[in-house]
Amino acid sequence: MQIIDGKKIAIEVKQEIAAKVLSMSKDQQRVPHLAAVIVGEDGAAKTYVESIQRSCKEVGFISSVYKYPEDISERELLEAIDFLNHDDEIDGYIIQLPLPKHISIDKVTEHVDPKKDIDCFHPINYGKLLLGEADFLPATPYGTIELMQRAGIEVAGKHCVVLGRSNIVGKPLAMLLAEKSAKGNATVTICHSHTENLKEICATADILLVAIGKAEMITADYVKKGAVVIDIGIHRVPDVDSPKGYRICGDVKFDEVASKCSAITPVPGGVGSMTMACLLLNTLHARLTTL
Ligand code: NDP
């Protein structure tokens, strides 16, 4: 049984990005610049943005953070986005969620210049993804596909069951797997909270990709013997035996599923590590298209 080491593969991806950035700076080219917009004081959002900054530093990108108070008006935020759209030295940026309730996420998303939309949330980029013409891919599905490819998991012709159909994970992941491309060509089934016979369908998967947001829900009886299991979920659950009082786990009950499958991603150290690496890949791509 193979434990797919997302952490190691993410380091490889970052090293490749860093090598490219080094050669850009040797050629006197401006290195990529990733910006993050954060509104309010959400702790998890701040932690994520800090980890983006650390990752940018690791690969040699410039990073910047634009912080706005919780009571910023929608108009002021849209003006701030205009500024980012027109700044030629910023290649890509993210608008960190959540946004305050008085601000329309749709309006904000649609205001982002699609060429700088490294989260791939803009409807134009989402549409291009469905057409197989994507400039950017949403970071988590991108990371999942890249991880499988680099770990030697063949998806072409396989029955992939994607558990979850959210706009940021399940749906785009299913589309990428089904895409007529070197990294796709799978036969895909999408399951969700209204799926009947969920367990039986999951147990037909050659590759089971789980993004349901339910801690350790997927037990061994959902898994065909010898299947590949990709766990995209991430949860912090109380654990009295841990000095921190909690532990991190996925949507899959790792120990019992691992003994039944041929390969599995751990949590932490699986798909999550790849998400950041792929956000950096999108930023590098945005910069390269301006050359
Ligand atoms: P959402 O809550 O947006 O979507 C969950 C999906 O799972 C929905 O489609 C829902 O169905 C389906 N679902 C929920 N419960 C069940 C159930 N009991 N049976 C079948 N289907 C069910 O979550 P996200 O897609 O945003 O995230 C999924 C997981 O991935 C989370 O654990 C999240 O933390 C993690 N994640 C990890 C990232 C990473 O970098 N590793 C990045 C983003 C997310 P329905 O549509 O019918 O409601």
**Domain locations in the chain?**
28-115, 139-271
Sheet of 92-95: strands edge to edge? 62-68, 33-39, 92-95
Nearest to 149 by CA among 281, 291, 36, 50: 281
The per-residue pLDDT for 48 is 94
Class (C level, CATH) for 28-115: alpha beta
How is residue 208 written in tokens?
């089971």
Q: Half-sphere exposure of 204 toward its Cβ, with a 13 Å CA cutoff?
A: 11
Distance 18 CA to ligand 1 centre (A): 32
Nearest to 251 by CA among 148, 137, 144: 144
Instruction: DSSP letter for 114, please.
Output: G
The per-residue pLDDT for 208 is 98
The per-residue pLDDT for 131 is 95
Q: Which of 201, 208, 212 to mutate to test the pocket of ligand 1 (most atoms within 8 A of CB)?
A: 212
Query: Per this entry, what is the length of the chain?
Result: 291
User: Along the 291 residues of the chain, how does pLDDT read in single tens digits?
Assistant: 999 999 999 999 999 999 999 999 999 999 999 999 999 999 999 999 999 999 999 999 999 999 999 999 999 999 999 999 999 999 999 999 999 999 999 999 999 999 999 999 999 999 999 999 999 999 999 999 999 999 999 999 999 999 999 999 999 999 999 999 999 999 999 999 999 999 999 999 999 999 999 999 999 999 999 999 999 999 999 999 999 999 999 999 999 999 999 999 999 999 999 999 999 999 999 999 998
Distance 234 CA to ligand 1 centre (A): 10
| Ligand 1 neighbourhood includes 214 CB (under 6 angstroms) | yes
Domains 28-115 and 139-271 share a fold: yes
pTM: 0.97
Distance 161 CA to ligand 1 centre (A): 14
CATH number for the domain formed by residue range(s) 139-271: 3.40.50.720
Distance 210 CA to ligand 1 centre (A): 8
Cα dist from 290 to 14, 29, 91, 287, whole Å = 21, 11, 8, 5
